[in-house]
Structure 1
């Protein structure tokens, strides 16, 4: 089926998921919407996140997408179930795949989760993990300064390291913790610094790989994988500055980014 896979995020963070989708499903076209003008979603009330998420979804539905990936953890926590109940296409988020990957990786049954304020307050990762294994210790921590670093394209390693170090200090006191979930799709862009701060003994989990694997499985089950020979066309939409979006996306994805449009979202 030639129709594209839709990916939505509060900003550029969902590109970490889109990149993994392109790697695992190289024949599939992606349409991506990053709500960079209103990013971050983490501090916003649930009702506002729901409103913004639905605006992106309604826009992408006009592009005839065959599946929706909610790449924003906060939007996943607040809207996933209602999206699944309302839409007639498959919808997946990034929390369940990330939780499963962490459970597979951890040997000590002691897992950390970092994310936006909204994601951490929702306890979505804790619930997802305990739904599978109630005996796991989950230590969560909000890191609200991380998303602005990524969205603003801050390049100073010194400034980034200090911010990450100060933010993660509370987690460094837990000796048994062996796995850390990056509970925001922006955070993989800071993965190397996070790994340096936490230490090489900590396994860092990004949900992109597991999410892409689940997308492949679901599309295959519904016989919606594209099996033709036409090359994929990826289209990017942003509510903010298209030039800034293209610059950050090109740097992160390490490939030329074409077809970027700035869109004003309304109900």
Structure 2
């Protein structure tokens, strides 16, 4: 019987549930320990030092819960804290930025990629760098015309416009993703992206898929929306295969199995458990069960 791996995940709040949903649907032999840092949401206005400290506290907690891999299901933390966390912890970690950038490069048909994200993620320029790195490493558009034009130096492929959206996360955390307020704010944020002529839009925050119906309504069918969560699942599959191979070869120590009682997901938050359940239930097909509050950093 194949071992059921334990994946640790964290986000500033409910946003990482969009990534968790993709993982649970595509990987049937994993368990997830999820931590939502709802007492300190949003992360978009936090300093790099704060984000590193938060990440260290949460990663320590998740490892203590048996996590063998950690998915940093927060673009802001992925863009700022993840390189430091990888240096300080032995467990493999997957972020959102690199997989999302690669997927956008593959999907674009005109080479004009847009980004909506927190202001911290936009300022970091992590996605712009990741798009350039993906191209340098051989990741190319699937569209043959654009691929050939780029290879001949005739058509650039760039992150053409990045837009900070500071009001989106508070709206979503309050359960207002389908409200008239969300539509009005989304129109304001998307106007510069429309003006820039983007053909592909990266959802650079794991909260934003909650807004996908609203975004599609405003953007229209000519702009493809890219959710990095789908690319993260693909990368996670490869990593888990490698873990299996390493354990079989004795390169890494096999972790003991958890208790016999079956479970697929456990939820922990730093803030109000009931509010997390209320908003989270709007996304996941199965109702969220027990949510436990854990206070970190004290």
State the TM bucket, normalised to the shorter chain.
over 0.9
Matches within 5 A, 1:1-267: 1-133=3-135, 135-138=156-159, 139-154=161-176, 157-175=179-197, 177-223=198-244, 231-266=262-297
Contact residue 27 and residue 231 of structure 1 kept, 8 A: no
RMSD between aligned alpha carbons? 2.1
Shift of 1:230: 7.7
Q: Is the contact between residue 239 and residue 265 of structure 1 (CA under 8 Å) also seen in structure 2?
A: yes
Structure 1 residue 31 displacement after superposition: 0.3
- On the 8 A contact 2:72/2:78 being kept in 1, the answer is yes
Moved over 3 A (4+): 229-232
1:154-208 deviation digits (Å, cap 9, x = unpaired):
1653221111111211111123x21000000000000110111111110000111
Change in CA separation of 1:156 and 1:194 when aligned onto 2, cut-off 3 Å: closer
Corresponding residue SS for 1:65: coil
Matches of 1:159 and 1:115 in 2, distance apart? 18
TM-score (norm 1): 0.94
Higher relative contact order (CA 8 A, sep 6+): 1
Structure 2: give runs of 5+ residues left out of the alignment.
137-155, 248-254
2:10 touches 2:71 (CA, 8 Å); kept in 1? yes
> Aligned equivalents of 1:208 and 1:79: distance in 2?
19
- Return 5+ residue gaps in structure 1 as ranges: none
Q: Aligned to 1:4, what secondary structure does the other structure show?
A: strand
Larger radius of gyration: 2
- Mapped contact 2:177–2:210 kept (Cα < 8 A): no
Under a length normalisation based on structure 2, what TM-score does the superposition of the two structures give?
A: 0.85
Shift of 1:130: 0.8
CA contact (8 A) 2:52 2:84 kept: no
Mean CA deviation greater in 166-175 or 108-117: 166-175
